[in-house]
Structure 1
């Protein structure tokens, strides 16, 4: 087996494992649904960071980004810690059509698995706040 075919095989395996991890984690089996997403945003030009507390289904602006969390899941305390959030991130510049940069699940424990790719901004998940755990069980 050539070195190139080994690298291709390993690449496919890594992508498969990452996709399996993302799917299993995003399904949130046994997870508690949160009300507020805690994100950390970085402007790479100014080195400014800001912690954003964004309620589900509301939008917040950071620079030219519009960040819209759709769902936030957190594992119960007895399970290994994990917070996963479904985000839609759009870049809005004056005089130009908005551009969707990211739409998918981000994970607090593995921010590199599914990250925002942008030359100026980084956004990652810190936490999922749950105002009343009993209220989220009533939604099910």
Structure 2
């Protein structure tokens, strides 16, 4: 169920894209995580569909979208975040969109960690380069 207050806020803040302006989809979400106990900020690169660990959290970026350069800047990622502790079942603590320009709009609430979206970018595949003959060097 969509929270109507969030949708209304997105519309008034101009964050939802009109039909003519399409966001580009990227394969990596750039996140920052704050450990509130140690006050350390960590940059996380979360490839879409892969699990990234931060402390006791497991984060999966489902998609990451960014407006084209000619539009007002905005990056957004749909994230699933679970807390996983040894000997306990995983607990879902966040599922939804996070926006780089408005981190408080849909913030993850956790006593120890904060996670927010910074950007989206494309990463090259880690395939080995091939020689002109098609064989690896």
TM-score by length of structure 2 reads 0.78
**Using a 3 Å threshold, how does the CA distance of structure 1 residues 46 and 107 change in structure 2: closer, same or farther?**
same
Give, in angstroms, the shift of residue 95 of structure 1.
1.3
Matches within 5 A, 1:9-28: 17-18=8-9, 20=11, 25=16
Tell me how far 1:48 sits from its aligned partner. 1.1
Give secondary structure in 1 for the equivalent of 2:8. Answer: helix
Partner residue of 2:52 out of 53, 56, 60: 60
**Within 5 A, what are the aligned runs for 1:1-140?**
17-18=8-9, 20=11, 25=16, 30-131=22-123
Counterpart CA distance in 2 for 1:120 and 1:27 is 37
Change (3 A) 1:105 1:27: farther
**Contact 1:26/1:105, CA 8 A, preserved across alignment:** no
TM-score using structure 1 length: 0.76
Structure 1 gap ranges (5+)? 1-12, 133-140
Equivalent residue of 2:86, what SS?
coil
2: CA distance, partners of 1:21 / 1:53: 30
Contact 1:66 1:89 in 2 (8 A): yes
* 1:96 shift after superposition: 1.1
Q: RMSD of the alignment, in Å?
A: 2.6
Structure 2 unaligned blocks of 5 or more: 125-137
Partner Cα separation in structure 1 for residue 85 and residue 30 of structure 2 = 24
